[in-house]
Structure 1
């Protein structure tokens, strides 16, 4: 990474200039950001990857959040201190976008994208240590929240991700460590899955950004 020009990202032999540097401030260009996201997406996910025009509004909001444009985020009701809960139908591109967005800001601390089912599998083997581990100071994006099974460790059942979210909430209140997530569920379904207490904490943890319920499945 070029620390003197954090707005320029090199992929192989190609440089992508996402904006211009004026003093110590980066002035990002959304169209240039889209070019980079599509190019990086092809590198990560294959040549068939593309940015769809119908998703531009969602991506614009996510980009503003990612580059920490506080003024425009405030105008759109996005709190840059909170994490992102990106919701939408199966296959609309939620996971791909969350993996891509962090690539635009290599000068910021990255988050790890972790499938929720993997966390539950870890709990089944190791028990409550796993919940404690995900309450640490790292940044995470929990992928496919709400469709993971409940955990079972030595016969004791546990709503693992519900407990993890409560731990992340405590961490957020203490040190503002962000948590992100993707989900196929709506607000009511999340409350049914995790209960009112966790859903209440999620409102404080996350900005909700949602794809239209009729968004196409890009995997087809």
Structure 2
């Protein structure tokens, strides 16, 4: 028996696809309608999904709904996390906030600003590194704009150490990590070192907004 797969927001139901009792067959056009409606709820009536972002959004949607055939054909590894990069204001954080709502299950990951992790480190020290090396799935938002960590007079590359901890966690448990960043690969290596960049290749699928994408906050 085929049932419609729906998500309800307030009094409105959105049909995202069809459910056969085992798997969901999604309809991307319907997903776009839902995500734009959800975006207006979360971010205000000004929110819209821009046509030039549809190609990237399709890849992200197929990753999060676990479309194995599409992801395999497009070189996306479902065992890795997502590193979503692009210019300032292109919509990276908004999309990650939206995409974790595609499932009827509890939200797939928690979004934490990288700068807030550094602020926590400045108060608590290495306990913060340990806390974010735990068995949760996180999206570290705006990697690269966080300040240098300082604890009892010593400076520390907090997010670099967090990423190394997440790498060890991934090897042991396959728990994923996601990231949004304005940095390119060269800038990531300069800030966090070749050791971190090398491990990031194993941790993430890199998906990128076009460098000419406009700042949607203007």
TM-score tier, shorter chain, comes to over 0.9
Aligned counterpart, 2:111: 113
Q: CA deviation at 1:71?
A: 1.3
Distance of 1:170 and 1:162 partners within structure 2:
13
Aligned counterpart, 1:15: 13
| Match for residue 141 of structure 1 among 116, 139, 142 | 139
Aligned counterpart, 2:80: 82
TM-score (ref. length: structure 2): 0.97
Any unmatched runs of 5+ in structure 2? Answer: none
**Contact residue 39 and residue 98 of structure 2 kept, 8 A:** yes
Distance of 1:120 and 1:135 partners within structure 2:
14
Write out aligned runs for 1:34-49 (5 A).
34-49=32-47
Q: CA deviation at 1:24?
A: 1.4
Aligned counterpart, 1:99: 97
- SS in structure 1 opposite 2:47? coil
Distance of 1:20 and 1:181 partners within structure 2:
30
Q: CA deviation at 1:7?
A: 2.7
| Match for residue 126 of structure 1 among 124, 127, 145 | 124
List per-residue Cα deviations over 1:13-51 (Å, max 9, x = no partner).
000110011231110000000000000000000000000
Q: CA deviation at 1:123?
A: 0.2
**Contact residue 7 and residue 17 of structure 1 kept, 8 A:** yes
Distance of 1:141 and 1:109 partners within structure 2:
12
Any unmatched runs of 5+ in structure 1? Answer: none
Aligned counterpart, 1:26: 24
Runs of 4+ in 1 over 6 A off after TM superposition: none
Aligned counterpart, 1:206: 204
Cα 1:6/1:103, change in 2 over 3 Å: farther
| Match for residue 167 of structure 1 among 162, 165, 170 | 165
Cα 1:6/1:117, change in 2 over 3 Å: farther
Write out aligned runs for 1:41-80 (5 A).
41-80=39-78
CA RMSD of aligned residues (A): 1.3
Distance of 1:194 and 1:107 partners within structure 2:
34
Distance of 1:196 and 1:109 partners within structure 2:
32
TM-score (ref. length: structure 1): 0.96
Distance of 1:108 and 1:32 partners within structure 2:
21
The alignment of Structure 1 onto Structure 2 pairs a total of residues equal to 217
Q: CA deviation at 1:146?
A: 1.2
- SS in structure 2 opposite 1:152? strand
